[in-house]
Amino acid sequence: MLRMVPRAPRKISTRQLLENLNKEGFESSQRTIQRDLKDLAVDFPDLKSDENKDMAGWFWEEHGELLSIPAIDPPVAFTLKLADTFLSRLMPPAVTDLLEPFRKASDSILNNLDRSNLSTWQNKVQILPRTQQLIPAEIDPEVLRIIYSALLEGKQFSGHYKRRGDDEANYEFNPLGIVYRESVIYLVATLWDYADIRHFALHRFTKVEALDTPCKKLKGFKLSDHIAGGDFDFNVVKNKTLKLKVIFEATTGDHLLETPLSKDQKTTVKRDGRYQVTATVNDSLQIRWWLLGFGDNVEVLQPTSLRAEFAQISENLHGIYHQE
């Protein structure tokens, strides 16, 4: 019965409780339920009544302790299940460990809701990347735990990092943030007393050790500003933009009418139905990869330097695919 009582601002009447209990196979009476609720409210301070004389509404305090009985009602179980499915990699292991009992309880509750819309919702929603899907790189759980804890607590850590095409190197890290990019998790950090910001793929850490030294924070650093600056787009020239002018085939470029490249994007329709698009974008490898992905359905007009790059790529491809 206590699990059927919702959290504020929702309420439930004793009549509704009686109907719900009867559906579950429990025989009772409205008067018995009223008496039991009053008695239980003594032992559960978060259990409240609106004292309505005609038909009292019962509820749990909105900000009551999470471990009270309604903490895992079906809507909460559903929310926890979604968090576990889509957000578990975003949370520190220390947090996910604490949520393990709630995860098990959520599964149990949802599995018993055979006819509930909530129990099937998780099978009706998926998140897909826009790029080719890759299998996520494996990360040592202990590496993940120490790095997340250091970031959470504002502490430094030391670690052995395997650089691409190089041997391992040992550094002292000042963690600034975590960025998820498709199948790779990156640590944004500085090293020792240096101020230059670098990115480190977590799966390349082979060994880490927590330190008690406070993290050296960068004045004015914001992770969102760092990302907005294009560092994760693999800038060709830092803080440089391109005034892009391209022509898309009609069936390829129409999506840009709904999801533009930039706030200053301008799109015109040519006589042959193709779209001419102008937009200011970061001078990055990312924009090049994106445009190349459309093959011959896109033509770069400006800047002329980028057009020359694509012409050279076209020549190279021609040489590869027309070898005798």
Assess whether the region 2-67 and the region 233-321 belong to the same CATH fold.
Answer: no
DSSP states of 67-101: TSGGGG-HHHHHHHHHHHHHTGGGS-HHHHHHTHH
Check residues 74 and 7 and name the one with the higher pLDDT: 7
Q: Say which range, 235-249, 262-276, 302-316, has the weakest mean pLDDT.
A: 235-249
DSSP states of 205-272: EEEEEEEEEEP-PPTT--HHHHHHTTGGGTBSSTT-EEEEEEEE-HHHHGGGGTS-SSTT-EEEE-TT
CA-CA distance, 213 to 149, in Å (whole number)?
13
| Degrees, nearest 5: CA angle 218-223-227 | 125
Say if residue 166's pLDDT is above 90: no
pLDDT 10s digits, 60-103: 887 666 444 455 667 777 777 777 777 776 766 766 666 676 77
Torsion of CA 38, 43, 46, 51, to 10 degrees: 20
Cα–Cα nearest to 68, from 103, 109, 40? 40
pLDDT of residue 51: 85
Domain boundaries, the chain: 2-67, 73-121, 141-228, 233-321
Report domain 2-67's class: mainly alpha
Q: What is the mean pLDDT of the chain?
A: 84
Residue 31's Cβ-count burial label (10 Å; 0-12, 13-18, 19+) is exposed
**Strand 298-302 with 241-248, pairing:** antiparallel
Residues 6+ apart with CB under 8 A from 37: 1, 14, 47, 49, 58
Check residues 217 and 104 and name the one with the higher pLDDT: 217
User: Using DSSP, how many helices (H) and how many strands (E) does the chain show?
Assistant: 11, 12
pLDDT 10s digits, 218-248: 888 998 888 877 777 667 667 788 999 999 9
Check residues 164 and 10 and name the one with the higher pLDDT: 10
Q: State yes or no: cis peptide before 9, omega within 30 of 0.
A: yes
303 pLDDT tier (thresholds 50, 70, 90): very high
CATH 3.40.50 fits 233-321, yes or no: no
Mean pLDDT of the region 20-47: 89
pLDDT of residue 108: 74
Mean pLDDT of the region 184-211: 92
Mean pLDDT of the region 187-200: 92
